[in-house]
Amino acid sequence: MNNFGQLPPIRRNPTPTYLKWRRRNDGSLKSSGTAFIRQVIKLWRRSLEMEVDGIQDYVNMLLRSIFFLGHIHDPSLHPTDFFESPELWNKLTRRFPQAFHNYKYPPHRTPFSILLTLAVRIYGHEDEDEIKDFLLNFLEALTLPPRIKGASNYTHYYTLEATVIAVCYNETSGDLRPVKYYGASLSCRGEREKNIMINWSCLHVWHDYVSYAVLSFRHDEQGNGIRFPVTVKCRAFYRNYQTNRYEDRRPCKNCGDLFSLSNPEMDRNDFPYGNCAETECLSKLIFNDQDVRNNMILGSYTMENLNSLRKMAKNAL
């Protein structure tokens, strides 16, 4: 249940260090969540003028996803904790009742992933730069202090930003331009939070093939990956905090293991299998592209194997 293994065991009288840690960590999700919601509301108001289809649903999903992360946070945050004024809170409970009623159940995606889907909805799938600019402007408007690697606040700094975004498509020959699918890495922090989101996604969100690969690396001694046809291209980007631009990055070792992506990093990373942006976009691609589904190499995937792995994910939840 500990985040980063740094919480001391529960005791009657918490030490001053623990209280200080709690205050600092609580502040970071609380302040970043408050800033995130403030920008979402601005976006919602602007989108109403632009008549973005379905914006109401996106705001509902975004609020609910942030409230859920507050709910499972240690110490837990109530939705009211993310609002500076009771007026706004009252107004939003009437406008977005589902978000306020359902927030104790896991959402299908973390907030940044929902924001990315909204960007694709507004700008269409083709122009990656427009989507990136939208995200960069949103992040800049949060005006959160920059994360400095190596500084003591780095590990606990909770920005709700996905570190990496990814795009993939099936480049079949012909005149049609391929549909691009986007994904974001999990925009929640903490081992417990990530485990909940990954297990939930393997049970209810990701395509069976992706869930199988992720769960098999999480639970089997020897993980079994899946392989995409060579026509599938996948690229990932991380945000350079100094320039506020997205830059290309190679797939991590986990993605090499799970999906046999070419030229992966060889170093191990600290993130659990399933955390990566590639997981989300490749799952969307499989759902939507029959040609990809027909030409995948699935290794030892069977429905039976997947079901027994899913039982473990269920127990872990």
* Cβ–Cβ < 8 Å for 266, 254: no
Which residues lie below 8 Å from residue 242, measured CB to CB, with a gap of 6+? none
Cβ-based nearer residue to Zn ion, 264 or 299:
264
Cβ-based nearer residue to Zn ion, 196 or 276:
276
- Residue from 165, 255, 306, 309 touching Zn ion (CB under 5 A): that is 255
From 115-123, 149-157, 248-256, 295-303, span contacting Zn ion (CB under 5 A): 248-256
Radius of gyration of the chain (CA): 20
3-state SS, one letter per residue, for 8-24: CCCCCCCCHHHHHHHHH
Query: Least distance (Å) from Zn ion to the CB of residue 130?
Result: 24
Query: Least distance (Å) from Zn ion to the CB of residue 265?
Result: 8
Tokens 């592209």 correspond to 289
Query: Least distance (Å) from Zn ion to the CB of residue 255?
Result: 3
* Cβ–Cβ < 8 Å for 33, 70: yes
Binding flags for Zn ion, 196-235, as an x/- string (CB under 5 A): ----------------------------------------
In the chain, what is the straight-line distance between the N-terminal and C-terminal CA atoms, in Å?
12
* Cβ–Cβ < 8 Å for 164, 238: yes
Query: Least distance (Å) from Zn ion to the CB of residue 45?
Result: 36
- Rounded to the nearest 10 degrees, the angle between the axes of helix 55-72 and helix 16-50 is 180
Query: Least distance (Å) from Zn ion to the CB of residue 176?
Result: 29
Per CB under 5 A, 276 contacts Zn ion: yes
Cβ-based nearer residue to Zn ion, 67 or 259:
259
Q: Which helix (H) or strand (E) holds 243?
A: none
Binding flags for Zn ion, 280-299, as an x/- string (CB under 5 A): --------------------
Can you give the binding site for Zn ion, defined by CB under 5 A?
252, 254-255, 276
